[in-house]
Structure 1
Amino acid sequence: MFFLDLTYQKPLTEVERYLDEHNQYLEKHYQSGNFICSGRKNPRIGGVILCQFDSLDEVKTIIQEDPFLLHGIANYQITEFCPTKAAAKYNDFLS
């Protein structure tokens, strides 16, 4: 499982300009079953994505599709982790 931490590199006016394209990117990967949840940071300096992929290389390939990365809107920090404990309703996430 991976935690993707996006940090905006441009003003919010630029973020808003690419938000629809970014949301389409998110939806594509929700439909594939790889993205689990996502949202804005508070304060609004970026966002986060929790996702499931088979490898770090696959994640690195997928984020190259994000308009936020393509247009220099946000940088990505990728953290891989192995969930070992979860609330009962999220037990499907455990390996």
Structure 2
Amino acid sequence: MSIIPEGWSIFVVDIEYTVPFEQIQPVLEPHMEFVRRAYDEGRFLTSGAKVPRTGGVVIMMAPSLEDAQNYLSDDPFVTENVASYSYTAFKPSNVHAALK
């Protein structure tokens, strides 16, 4: 049994800060609360900051691109307009045994 629901895709979400990091810092804790909730709801598979710290990357599951975008529209980085998001969808053809 796969952890990826039938008919869903995986999305690589590339997050780019659009303001200086000093303006990101006050939004980090609310963003991390959103991230924790996304893990609790089973949406995120992995996530983290880019190196260097210019944004982040999220690997998430969703039934459609529209659903992924709608879900992330509640992220404080989006609501506070401090980052831009780009999405790449894919259906895995090879998966590590731990993800099956």
Instruction: Please indicate, yes or no, whether the TM-score normalized by the shorter chain is above 0.5.
Output: yes
Q: Which amino acid aligns with 2:87?
A: I
* Partners of 2:26 and 2:61 in 1: CA distance: 28
Identity of aligned residues (%): 31
Inter-partner Cα distance in structure 1 for 2:98 and 2:40: 21
Which residue among 12, 19, 29 is the counterpart of 2:21?
12
TM, length-normalised to structure 1: 0.91
- The residue aligned with 2:4 is none
4+ long deviations beyond 3 Å: none
Which residue pairs with 1:59 in the alignment?
68
Provide the rounded CA distance (Å) in 2 between the counterparts of 1:87 and 1:63: 26
Query: How many residue pairs end up in the alignment?
Result: 91
Unpaired segments ≥5 residues, structure 1: none
Please report how far the alpha carbon of residue 60 of structure 1 lies from its aligned counterpart in structure 2 after TM superposition: 1.2
Secondary structure at the counterpart of residue 62 of structure 1: helix
Aligned to 2:52: 43
Shift of 1:17: 0.8
Structure 2 residues not aligned, in runs of 5+: 1-9
Query: Secondary structure of 2:42's match?
Result: coil
TM-score normalised by L of structure 2: 0.87
